[in-house]
A and B are shown apart, each in its own frame.
Chain A
Amino acid sequence: MEDELLIFCDHLFKKYPGTDWVFKDASLTIFRNQFLFLLGSSGSGKTTFIKIISGQEDYDRGKIIIQNNDFRKLKRKNLHLWRRSLGIVFQDFRLLWKQTVKENIALPLIILGCSKNEIDMRVKAVLKLVQLEDKEDVVCKYLSGGEQQRVAIGRAIVHSPVLLLADEPTGNLDDKHTKNILELFYTLHARGISILIATHDKRLPIAIPDCRTVMIKDKRFIDVIPVPKSRTS
């Protein structure tokens, strides 16, 4: 189970129109049930990588294999199914401002077509996990930055995704909440969810035992902390 291939990026090239390469011949293998930190300085391409994986951005050259399917083919037909198995925490949250915390968190479940009972149950559980129980009926635009971030995290995990992609999920949180969120991620990981956290905060990996850390350097991915052989490509 642990060594099942989830995402395989092979010699990936990516550039935005009018800019230098963001990725140049970058390869990365992500296995199922990994807890992976993607480190990199600002502007190194962490967000870009998450966008590529979630099908929001195209790539120029190279190959991406997702669950044994070529990503370009997958994108043409079943992108929405792949996206349903993802939980994404955006760097800028991307919540629906005019709707309540509860409505925002319930969205993935509505899209999956869950029953009202199940939605209520799961949203309640998630609100507890991200410690927003007392804010469930507050409209999102009135929340603080940290609270919005936690709503975004709630929305990303409520449907038990296969892979959680979190872009700077602790960027707006104080130490106490950062610790809570990392613990939450760790619990989710223990329940079998693969996790990829993009961050520039080098201290985060220390808090998670047994995680893998990959750094974006010179437009490539480099493993920085040695991990058992079976987990690397």
Chain B
Amino acid sequence: MLRFLLHRAVRNTLSSFSAFVISSLCLGIALFCATFYVEREIFLNSLVPTWARETKALVAISNNATPKQVEKVKAILKVSKWVKSFSQIEQAKAWDRFLKDFSHLKDIAKDIDPIYIPLIFEVTLKKECLNSSGECSEFFAKLEDIPSVESVFSPLPWIRRIYIWFELFQKGALFFALFLFVCAMVITLLGIKLSFQASKREAYIFDILGASSWFIKLPFYFQGTFIFCVGLIISFAGLYGFCEKIIDCASITDVVNLFFVISALVFVCEVILIEFTVRFLRISIRKSDDLWVQ
């Protein structure tokens, strides 16, 4: 019996093959995008380079600042919720670094007394700083307004821009996933409707011969399951390729866990939709003597 039903399902699938291909593609891409959305942390961490993940800012103190004023800046940095840690770059060391990085300026630089090099704090920012909407940049802008602070160098505006783009991208992925999911379901149900219409007489005869409702419904569930399985394979292959070949994820296993949860949810949705569709379609054949009038 099961073989008979499977055979019918395969036949139905083949008879609406284009619908099958399109809906499984849609479903596959939708699953991929949905996973991308829920696992954005992992993808973000893999996408954003290390320097951006551990962002450092430089705070230069003006030369005429009194030690007391320097202590005050230190205190501000210490209590700030955006600062992970900070350290003082020694003037001599900074000078050496400068000479090394800008060796073509050696001639100009050799006359400068290292004493005029400003005192610089290297500040390591917390991760929240990047996710906060502007508050963190504001903090550094204020810091720059303090008279004893000469200037603040931070890559923050750039990184924030990356983050904003990425956030937009995520939202786009979510909407795209939902849109494709709806498309996949609509096409799946249309395919099932077509198959059902094509085998209306069979369904009618099965009904008359005493087939249980499972007997009539199961081939359509199988049909839906085929679409789901192909979609699953497509999205999994996509995720795997994306993770391993393109962005080098920390671990695909973390991604896969939620991916399967989403897939299971999608499958449940699909089954419920198929159930209602087939139920609805069956009502139409209950009283269809017309089927036999040629």
Contacts and interface: CB of A to CB of B under 8 A. Distances in A.
A81 B209 CA distance: 9
B201 A111 contact: no
A80 B207 CA distance: 7
A110 B205 contact: no
A88 B208 CA distance: 9
Contacts of B205: 94, 96, 107
B4 A94 contact: no
A interface, by DSSP: helix, strand, loop or mixed? helix
B210 A83 contact: yes
B210 A82 contact: yes
A84 interface: yes
A54 B287 CA distance: 13
Contacts, number: 44
Contacts of A83: 207-210
A56 interface: yes
Given A92-B292, A94-B292, A113-B1, A107 B210 contact: no
A53 interface: no
Contacts of A88: 208
Interface of B: 1, 4, 201-202, 204-213, 215, 287, 292
B202 A108 contact: no
Contact of A94 (B1, B208, B210, B213): B208
17 contacts: A54-B208, A56-B287, A80-B210, A82-B210, A83-B207, A86-B210, A94-B204, A94-B292, A96-B205, A107-B205, A107-B206, A108-B209, A111-B1, A111-B210, A112-B210, A113-B1, A155-B209
Nearest to A56: B208
Contacts of B210: 80-86, 108, 111-112
B209 A84 contact: yes
A111 B211 contact: yes
Contacts of B204: 94
Contact of A80 (B211, B287, B292): B211
Interface in A89-127: 92, 94, 96, 107-108, 110-113
> What are the nearest 3 A-B pairs in CB distance?
A83-B210, A84-B210, A80-B210
Contacts of B1: 110-111, 113
Nearest to B3: A116
A155 B201 CA distance: 16
Nearest to B5: A110
